[in-house]
Amino acid sequence: MEKIRDAFDFRDFSKPEKVGFAIFTLFLLIFPWLGAGSFVKAVAIQFLLFSLFGMGWNTIGGYGGQVELGKAQYVGIGAYTVALTMVWWKIPFWVSMPIGVLIAIGYSFIIGYPLFRLKGHYFAIATICTSLVLQDIFINWKLVGAAKGIELPIREHPDFLYMQFKSDTYYFYFIMALFYVAIFYMNWFRKSKLGYQLRMIKEDEEAAESLGIDARWCKIKAYSIASAFVAVGGGFLAVYNLYIDPYSVMDLDLSIKIALMSMLGGAGSMWGPIIGSAFLVPLDRFLGSWLGAQKGLIGVDFMIYAALIMIVSAYQPRGIWGIIEQFRKRGA
């Protein structure tokens, strides 16, 4: 009961935050009826999806302060579980998605146990490696479609069981629902014992250990929570795109984007991943399609992207949310 109350209790946020959050929620609810084109809708879905990924990453990367750059492997696990079980055994999404999450959690414990013996840069590199190894396995594994990937069988009619719809609006509302589950979870998480302990580990791991915190075990737990979040998003990606291959769901690029968006928005804060995703997803898509299409400007979007990240990280390592808080403090 306490936990449920904590998840829905937003009282300790400031008034502008509460108002902003309410307006944002309202906007999302009516968004599909505002007459946006399919491209804009796709960007909005992408934004919610990356917010979900980012919030997951934020548990271990933000609150726990561990530079984790291997989240793509869990996107892959979630996506492949949904796709393969559907192709092979016609298992509906609502069954295969939780299975994917369970597999991701199990896998994250197996990977996390040795991984968290490492610290700092070594840990970051190791997370990249585990993800790349899994990607390589999938690229060469004939049974799961190898590099060609797999196509999900398309249902004749829109089907709720298999989450196949003609209109993006349904996908939008579905990812929005997942997004809000994630927000409520994070709202509980930041106030939980594990949340506090992780923040202490981030501040000063030695001191945390002296306060009875099993740092390694806490990190493993947070890592598997993050993995579960990301696997949910991966499952969504499979039914949304109806086609997955190791390059689209397990790429290093994806891992880095997940981490970068949260860092840019503000790692270790409630709104950071959402802000980061709101900035970078549209930037990425619009710049990519606008600038990338012009002759001689290929790659300029990446340069703008990189410059933005450098500016924010040099100015305020706690990201955009850190800048906002800084101004708020100065005003108070």
Partner 1 sequence: MAFLEVSELVKDFGGVVANNHISFDINQGEIIGLIGPNGAGKTTLFNCIVGYHKPDSGKVIFKGKEITGFKPFMTNREGIGRTFQIMKVTAGMTVLENVMVGAFCRADDRNLAKVEAAAILGFLGLDSVKTYYLNELPIAAQKKIGLARALATQPELLMLDEVASGLNPKETEEMVDLLKKIHQEKKITLFLIEHVMEVVMPISQRVIVLDGGEKIAEGLPKDIVKNERVIKAYLGEKYAKGL
Binding site for partner 1 (CB under 8 A): 2, 6, 191-193, 196-197, 199-200, 202-204, 206-215, 268
Which residue, 156 or 206, is less far from partner 1 as judged by CB?
206
**Cβ proximity of 89 and 75 under 8 Å:** no
Rg for the chain, CA atoms, rounded: 20
Which residue, 45 or 215, is less far from partner 1 as judged by CB?
215
Query: Smallest distance from the beta carbon of 197 to partner 1, in angstroms?
Result: 6
Residues 6+ apart with CB under 8 A from 315: 323
Residues 6+ apart with CB under 8 A from 186: 55, 58, 59, 270
Query: Smallest distance from the beta carbon of 145 to partner 1, in angstroms?
Result: 45
Which residue, 118 or 146, is less far from partner 1 as judged by CB?
118
DSSP string, 79-129: HHHHHHHHHHH---HHHHHHHHHHHHHHHHHHHHHHHTTS-HHHHHHHHHH
**Cβ proximity of 273 and 58 under 8 Å:** yes
Query: Smallest distance from the beta carbon of 330 to partner 1, in angstroms?
Result: 15
Instruction: Give, as one character, the DSSP assignment of residue 147.
Output: G
Which residue, 204 or 253, is less far from partner 1 as judged by CB?
204
**Cβ proximity of 278 and 31 under 8 Å:** no
Query: Smallest distance from the beta carbon of 332 to partner 1, in angstroms?
Result: 12
> What kind and span of H or E run contains 314?
helix 300-315
Query: Smallest distance from the beta carbon of 9 to partner 1, in angstroms?
Result: 11
Query: Smallest distance from the beta carbon of 14 to partner 1, in angstroms?
Result: 14
Which residue, 214 or 253, is less far from partner 1 as judged by CB?
214
Which residue, 195 or 276, is less far from partner 1 as judged by CB?
195
End-to-end CA distance of the chain: 36
